Chains A and B, each alone.
Chain A
């Protein structure tokens, strides 16, 4: 208890130092006066009495100092003092501040961004009452290691049989055309959900009612619940919205309720219709649930629910002879419902990634440590004097730590700002993110960033401080009288050389990657993209489900053909084309050309990694893309056994030779797919039982967009091969007008024909640029920090050399040595080390370009980039020596001789 009182008193003393200081001074003054009086009474003279009283009291300054330390929080006082000193040093050593601050900002920013991202993506808490008790139930495939679609029978078994959970429900997401009154239909995402979903969420509607079990009966009238922003934007906040009718696809639904603002359960939904499980069982093309959810019953835990579910198991398979031994039910937190990951796996992955993000601090902080060490060396006399006056090694090291911590704290602040900007941008780009994802900067993220800042300061500050204040403190004492002092050992100079080599090796790749990313924005697509309007065309599920006898793919093709025919006759529309994807947004794949060895595998596939698309006959004409060799697609190609394809110019150049089409003719060569990104390669055949599917090149077209850096392979749009499809219109009319006509024509053909993602093509390219620009900005910051660290390291090395050899320079100058010879003598060794670093970097860059293909690290598309980067590094190194060289030439020989 006495200790607690003491700490409280110390805290008060820290907060009110002046009051207590005056109090103490008054008390000492009273003591001296009393003592003087006593001694005068004893017969001493006033002067002698005063002197003896002071002697008996002791040194006033020491007493005040001791009292100050005893009543305050000295460690906090020291911390504040060190922080003020650190700020002063920041201003004085602005080079170290700038370079160290930038490098730390990048390193800490990467760690903070990774943490913030994973926290948003995986550890959001459901903003629902007792949201942590809402769970998801999955059917898990042990063999495949992923989710298996949950069967209707299993859902009903769990709904009826589980006691540890309440309100078992399920949902699936549909896309429907929403038509309100006479307005044009717009595609919207609708949650087809069991009524129990609203009981699980426990959020009362704002108006009307939520869905009920009655609504799920087949005979019930179609009803709809809408979200708050839908009510405001589409119904203008009409208080009489309950009871109004709207069209969803070709079905009329009655609005029965409005949910409060922010409600988007189960994921990011704003429209809810009942899930009729009875009707689902009868449909041929029924799609599995997105996932099954429930709420833990009172008193039950996730583990208890998992145990009960394991006991209850799955419903017996209905198909004769079928088995689902590899399947089992599992319970996961709700936010993992749509994921194949388990919470345990995710946590481990995140721990490993965060460890790497933390380890990323080491290279830049080790480099900053070099600069800090060099600065300590230049202050060795000051530090040695402090040591002699009583400062402990711990005190000196902690001072240096706090000085670096000031830089790290500033860097952390800037890093958090950048992360906040990035998350805001992410929020704009992900308007349909799940409702539990919180894009704001959390306290956890701030705390993690603060920890990174402390670790950075420990590496960059404490390590060099310990090294400099070890046995070398004695050296520093001697250095007060001599000029030998501390040295920058071989380790530190080797680190500088490694830094230079790394910069020289990384620079060409960084420049290439930046140019490869930015060139599309700089050069433009090479055609009037603003004249093109694109839209995604699809037939929604009701349309596909409804025609039980009809082939839905054929139906879609017929609708698409009629749509194109009608659009072509629209006034103002000059071209209409259909493709699987718009130019520049095609899917990726790796291919093999018959008779030509692969450049690499997987992500190192190099030129064999291409884009692919399915296009109709009018596609190339619509974009004015000339055929350079061979021909375009013809009607006979739709049924040809030779499976004709057309490639672009870049494909031909990269895979068939040296860039001159007249030398290597790709026509007649065959190509096959090895792997399509995002889907299984049906054509890939590891065994002889399934022979590979080859495609014959029948034509070569110009690149589209003109700035394409990858090969593109075009297939003819054969019947029933493409759903959904992208429609492209070329028109001189305003895009909004064309968009309205497009919607009108489509829904007049079939209310279930959905047109969405209507955008001008230049707007699509601009959106791609946003993400590219963020990436290039980040890359630019990293490269800049690496370069600056190199420059700073060279500067520190040269500066230290000049400092240490001032006397030698002075004497040689006095003996008549010319400035050129002086500099050469001093810098020969150091510049040879820098040159060696640049040479090593050059060799590394050449190896990188040879073994790692262009598509990964940029390669050497820009002629002469590698030697240019090496020369640039040497020039930068020379530039870094200018300051120390000038100081060396200004050394006064007379002054140096006098100091001898």
Chain B
């Protein structure tokens, strides 16, 4: 199970972070990590530090932007939001993921079904 979780995350963390920002709008890194864990019903427990490496990567590619702000509990935090290029990338990767997962699902179906 653990092996399955880690191999999924390596390929899709970028996609999940982009999707999370699309759903939540502006959010800080801790909030993004907690959201991913909650939505996956804790099936995906990621090394939270990798979120920040992923966010750094997405900033360099100009798919998200960042600015310092104040959180709900009055803490100084860095908030991330999706850019237009990020939205397009998200749409493209989502479509790709659905296509690939559909193909794999058909291959795994028992014969005759």
Residues of A that sit less than 8 Å from B by CB: 2, 5-6, 9-10, 23-24, 26-28, 30-31, 33-35, 37-38, 56-60, 62-63, 66-67, 70-71
Q: Complex: how many Å from CA A24 to CA B59?
A: 13
Which of A5, A30, A58, A71 contacts B78 (CB under 8 A)? A30
In the complex, the chain B residue whose C-beta lies closest to that of A71 is B56
Of B29, B56, B57, B73, which is within 8 A of A31 by CB?
A: B29
Report whether A31 and B30 are in contact in the complex, using a CB–CB cutoff of 8 Å. Answer: yes
Verify if B96 is at the interface (C-beta below 8 Å from A): no
Which of B30, B34, B61, B77 interacts with A2 by CB under 8 Å? B61
By the criterion CB–CB under 8 Å, are B59 and A9 in contact? yes
Closest 6 CB pairs of A and B: A58-B49, A9-B60, A2-B61, A6-B60, A63-B49, A34-B30
Taken together as a complex, chains A and B put the C-alpha atoms of A745 and B71 apart, in Å, by 105
Q: Which residue of B lies closest to A33 (CB)?
A: B75
Does A30 lie within 8 Å of B48, measured CB to CB? no
Taking CB atoms and an 8 Å cut-off, the chain B residues in 1-55 that contact chain A are 28-30, 33-34, 47-50, 52-53
CB pair B77 A30 closer than 8 Å: yes
Q: Chain A contacts of B61 at CB under 8 A?
A: 2, 5-6
| Seed contacts A30-B78, A34-B30, A34-B75; 15 additional CB < 8 Å A-B pairs | A2-B63, A2-B89, A5-B61, A24-B52, A27-B29, A27-B52, A31-B29, A31-B52, A33-B75, A35-B30, A58-B49, A63-B53, A67-B53, A70-B53, A71-B60
Distance between A315 CB and nearest chain B CB, rounded to angstroms: 73
Is the CB of B76 closer than 8 A to any CB of chain A? yes
Q: Which residues of B contact A9 (CB under 8 A)?
A: 59-60
Complex Cα spacing A67 to B61, Å: 15
Distance, CA A312 to CA B60, complexed state (A): 67
Q: Tell me the chain B residues, 96-112 only, with Cβ under 8 Å from chain A.
A: none
**A72: shortest Cβ distance to chain B, in Å?**
11
Give the residues in chain A near B85, CB-CB below 8 Å. 2
A31-B48 in contact (CB<8A): yes
Candidates A2, A37, A63; contact of B52 at CB < 8 Å: A63
CA distance A33 to B77 in the complex (A): 10
B28 CB contacts on chain A under 8 angstroms: 30, 34
Instruction: Provide the bound-state CA to CA distance between A60 and B52, in Å.
Output: 12
Complex contact A66–B53 (CB within 8 A): yes
Cβ contact within 8 Å between B56 and A70:
yes
Whole-angstrom distance between the alpha carbons of A60 and B53 in the complex?
12
Given contacts A63-B52, A63-B53, A70-B53, contact A30 B60 (CB under 8 A): no
A2 close to B78 (CB less than 8 A): no
Decide if A27 touches B49 in the complex (CB within 8 Å). no
Chain B residues contacting A28 (CB-CB under 8 Å) are 49, 52
Minimum C-beta distance from A29 to chain B (A): 10
Given A5-B62, A6-B61: A37 in contact with B73 (beta carbons within 8 A): yes
B61-100 contacts to A, CB under 8 A, are 61-63, 71, 73, 75-78, 85, 89
A546 to B71, CA, bound (A): 106
| 24 A-B pairs in the complex with CB atoms less than 8 angstroms apart | A2-B89, A5-B62, A9-B59, A23-B78, A28-B52, A30-B75, A31-B33, A31-B48, A34-B28, A34-B30, A34-B71, A34-B73, A37-B73, A38-B34, A56-B47, A57-B49, A58-B47, A58-B50, A59-B49, A63-B49, A63-B52, A67-B53, A70-B53, A70-B56
CB distance from A34 to the nearest CB of B (A): 4
Number of interface residues of B (CB under 8 A): 26
Are A30 and B52 in contact (CB-based, < 8 A)?
no
Chain B contacts for A5, CB-based, 8 A: 60-62
Q: How far is the CA of A164 from the CA of B34 in the complex (A)?
A: 80
B29 to A: closest C-beta gap in Å: 6
In the complex, which residues of chain B have a beta carbon less than 8 angstroms from the beta carbon of A23? 78
Please report the C-alpha to C-alpha distance between residue A56 and residue B29 in the assembled complex, in whole angstroms.
Answer: 13
Task: Determine the chain B residues whose CB is within 8 A of the CB of A35 once the complex forms.
Answer: 30, 48
A10, closest chain B residue (CB): B60
Cα–Cα distance between A655 and B93 once the two chains are bound (Å): 94
Return chain B residues, CB-CB under 8 Å to A71: 56, 60
Q: Is the CB of A2 within 8 A of B62?
A: yes
Nearest Cβ on chain B to A732's Cβ, whole angstroms: 86
In the complex, how many angstroms separate the beta carbon of A586 from the nearest chain B beta carbon? 76
**Is the Cβ of B57 less than 8 Å from the Cβ of A70?**
yes
Q: Report the separation of the CA atoms of residues A59 and B50 in the bound assembly, to the nearest whole angstrom.
A: 10
Give chain A nearest CB distance to B43 CB in angstroms: 16
Which residues does chain B contribute within 8 Å of A58, judged by CB atoms? 47-50
Chain B residue nearest in CB terms to A35: B30
Question: How far, in whole Å, are A30 and B29 apart by their CA atoms in the complex?
Answer: 9
Chain B residues whose C-beta falls within 8 Å of the C-beta of A57 in the assembled complex: 47-49
Minimum CB distance partner of B51 in chain A: A31
* A residues near B30, Cβ cutoff 8 Å: 30-31, 34-35
Instruction: Give the residue of B29, B33, B56, B63 whose beta carbon is less than 8 angstroms from that of A67.
Output: B56
Q: Select from chain A the residue with minimum beta-carbon distance to B77.
A: A30
Q: In the bound complex, how far is the Cα of B68 from the Cα of A27, in angstroms?
A: 9
B50: min CB distance to chain A, Å: 7
Chain A residue at minimal CB-CB distance from B89 = A2
B34 CB contacts on chain A under 8 angstroms: 38
Q: Please, which residues of chain B bring their CB within 8 A of the CB of A66?
A: 53
Contacts of B49 in A (CB 8 A): 28, 57-60, 62-63
Q: Within 8 Å CB of A33, what residues of B?
A: 75
Residues of chain B contacted by A6 (CB below 8 angstroms): 60-61
Q: Are A56 and B76 in contact (CB under 8 A)?
A: no
CA distance A70 to B55 in the complex (A): 11
B residues near A60, Cβ cutoff 8 Å: 49
**Smallest CB separation, A803 vs chain B (Å):** 45
The CA-CA distance from A58 to B51 in the complex, in Å, is 11
Residues A27 and B75 in contact in the complex (CB < 8 Å), given A2-B62, A9-B59: no
Q: Shortest beta-carbon distance, B22 to chain A, in Å?
A: 18
Closest Cβ of chain A to B88, distance in Å, is: 11
Assembly CA distance A63 to B53 (angstroms)? 8
Closest residue of B by beta carbon distance from A7: B60
Bound form: Cα–Cα A24–B60 in Å: 14
CB proximity of A444 to chain B, nearest CB, Å: 38
**Which residues from chain A contact B29 at a C-beta distance below 8 Å?**
27, 30-31
Distance of A10 Cα from B61 Cα, bound (Å): 10
Which residues of chain A come closer than 8 Å to B73, judged between CB atoms?
A: 34, 37
Q: Is the CB of A27 within 8 A of B78?
A: yes
**B84 CB → nearest A CB, Å:** 13
A843 to chain B, nearest CB (A): 67
CA distance A38 to B71 in the complex (A): 14
Residues of B within 8 A of A62 (CB): 49
Which of chain A's residues have a CB closer than 8 A to the CB of B47?
A: 56-58
Residue numbers in A under 8 Å from B50 (CB-CB)? 58
**Please, how many angstroms separate the alpha-carbon atoms of A521 and B29 in the complex?**
82
B34, B61, B71, B89, most chain A CB atoms within 10 A = B61
